Chains A and B, each alone.
Chain A
């Protein structure tokens, strides 16, 4: 039997492969994303330039003047106003409607399951296509909705053709597409709540309104918060529905951030200003997404801890 003494050669370093492995595994994904960060970087740069494609000789670095120009531009404030109106309307209405439906479908029954799956269908349609559908439905000539409201005596409702009713129309489409998202999120949240507080309340004979306000809502708050954040992040960037419906018109009644940026770029060829608008939007979404990720991580831990 051979013997090995206690003191020996210097201790080996950790072998290479296991140490490098995580980086090797994620490298392809990272490279792809680096490729995407480059345009982001150039967008930041463009936002600091006076850059118009039709006047390339005027191109040059102007620092933050695009941004200051934006904040003194009434059109930009219109964009902010329109975006806020759109976002607040859609998120609030979808929250209320989604919560209501979730409460209606709360019990686990075969019928309820079928209904909730059926209600998912609008969410699965492309928002641009959904806008098209509603465009057809609100067509003054043959659209079924125009016909239906004419039965109620309302004729000549302009839907998306008039600046006064265009916002209403696109918000309606948004509600149609995205309320199911709120619904399934809140429904899953409702169903994941522990049963004991509700059983205790039932034993104590507490009335339903109290149960809802003091028990259900507080326990549901993390889900509500996550859902609202999620939808706000998407809604403030809405492009598909509005562009497909009216391309931002009529007038400037639907010029939300991304639509405005798109038109600045393609119609006015003003790259600098377009980039600046997008950077402002990005800043808003960055802050919101930080909050969201923190909230989402908490929810995920809770969901997977229980499961």
Chain B
């Protein structure tokens, strides 16, 4: 994580908040460049919405600094921070038309009517809702409501854009459409954007970087491919991937200048640093990295295929070893018959090794400390 960040965008420092005796955020720090989209990813209850509220200045209990475009706005009310927010349940003003909803930020700045009409028209055309501008929110479909909310957030050309899972309440087809449109929109807007989601695929599609928030702490802040390839902890690994990562208990041993792990009667050589040898560990194997063979081969173990389920264009296979262990594998294409015996070969090159006690990822050999979470 970078220590020094340019302040043209958004900088959040040591943001903590809670209510009563419960602390929800613990000293969260992150920075977003102008034009960058940072995805805030985490399970429900992690504090994502709370963090957005705190950044927007809507949380009276929040402690911490917020800088927007070089200005310290920590003590400033939400109305003067220059941000746009898209809420999960749209939060449109029910007693105003869509046009008035979108125009609200411009009215607040007391712009002349003609300019307001022009700006609203432009963004409405961009988001394809110009034909419903005169209607009230209750007459709009969910997709139109969400686009109105987005238009309202974007119309004032804010420096910072906060989006709280805006696609959650929208039907699946529209969600996919928007998922492709949004990056273009956000790039055009040029704001420093934070996008909250619980869907890891959405996170990977939309984010330039992903910040994983678990129980009020940022546990990883990386490019999407990095988070997928090397989740910083067991918790992150479980969240990223569908079907989820296989996590197998093992005890690595030092052999030569690397580690070996014995699983399923196989010796797997791992390219990790030796520090974890002798301790309890969890080996993470992605289902797609497990090769399925019809016949015995070196480096492959035997198992029974107990179930095969189609998922997102792949097939997820549930394998059961003779010792009773269960592993998930996935592949594209026709699976073998359920109940038949297969041989599976785990690929140790993409395997991940986690310290069972701390849940943290063990480093690759030769990795620099900077990659540590």
Contacts and interface: CB of A to CB of B under 8 A. Distances in A.
Do A and B share a direct contact in the complex (Cβ within 8 angstroms)? yes
Interface in B1-33: 3-8, 11, 13-14, 29
Contact of B7 (A2, A6, A14, A18): A2
Contact of B4 (A4, A13, A14, A17): A4
Contact of A4 (B11, B61, B75): B11
B6 A3 contact: yes
Contacts, number: 44
A81 B63 CA distance: 61
B99 interface: no
Give the interface size class of chain A: 10 to 19
B15 to A, nearest CB: 9
A6 B65 contact: no
A14 B65 contact: no
A114 interface: no
A17 B67 CA distance: 20
A2 B9 CA distance: 11
Nearest to A15: B75
Interface residues of B, number: 21
A17 B14 CA distance: 22
B45 interface: no
B63 A4 contact: no
B5 A11 contact: no
A4 B11 CA distance: 9
A301 B60 CA distance: 26
Nearest to A20: B60
Nearest to B3: A6
B59 to A, nearest CB: 9
A11 to B, nearest CB: 6
B335 interface: no
Contacts of A21: 60
B3 A8 contact: no
Contacts of A5: 3-4
Interface in A1-35: 1-6, 8, 11-15, 17-19, 21
Contacts of B3: 5-6
A3 B60 contact: no
Interface string B51-84: 0000000001111110100100011010000000
Interface string A126-147: 0000000000000000000000
Interface of B: 3-8, 11, 13-14, 29, 60-65, 67, 70, 74-75, 77
